[in-house]
A = this chain, B = another copy of it.
Amino acid sequence: MPKLIDHDERREHIIDVTWALIVEGGIEAATMREIAAKAGFANGALKHYFPSKAKIVEGTFDRAMRIVGSGVNTDQGRGLAGLRALGLAALPKDEASITAGRVLMAYWEMSLANEEMRDRYEAFLSDWRALILRYLQEGRADGDIVTSTPDEVLVDELVLLTAGSNIMTLVGRKYTTAELVERHLEEYLGRLTRP
């Protein structure tokens, strides 16, 4: 019987290899040539699994977002509690999430010259913002969130806080630690509970 090739498994393997190359050397280190070599493929064979580097990097992005999302999808409650869980999930708090932030940064860099990649990120951001808004509205209904700052402003603030935290944990690690960004999240949440 001929051996069946598991295409999904090979695609995952290619994403593993690309992930490691990005973490070690950034977006520039993850060339098609290098990915093929590390994955054990002939140079042109990658194209059977992914049509372009952009598509492979999208695969690493999806994985990074699953790591972030894994802190959100579990049953963590609604309103303010849900918002805290979501905020914590999006912050770089351990090795796995800092690495996911690194891969996200490489994706961001590449996406600025690739409209499809940028649209994909904005679609993710749209869902993310909708989730934040839902938790804010629940928190108001529960009487936990009482600040006079409008919800739309609060959504922006949390997005800027988490994006800034991800970046600064990578490029300003001398100052920005996991403990510190968590403290800022608590400051933000504390403000929501004050008129």
> A residues touching B (Cβ–Cβ < 8 Å)?
24-29, 102, 105-106, 108-113, 118, 121-122, 125-126, 129, 149, 153, 156-157, 159-165, 167-168, 170-172, 174-176, 180-181, 183-184, 187
Contact = CB atoms under 8 A, between A and B. Distances in A.
A129 B105 CA distance: 23
Given A160-B161, A164-B161, A121 B26 contact: no
Given A27-B28, A184-B160, A109 B112 contact: no
B110 A108 contact: no
Nearest to A158: B164
30 contacts: A26-B110, A27-B27, A27-B109, A28-B113, A105-B108, A108-B167, A108-B170, A109-B109, A111-B171, A112-B170, A118-B171, A125-B172, A125-B174, A125-B175, A126-B174, A149-B187, A153-B183, A156-B175, A156-B180, A159-B164, A159-B168, A159-B172, A160-B164, A160-B165, A160-B184, A161-B161, A161-B164, A163-B167, A164-B164, A164-B165
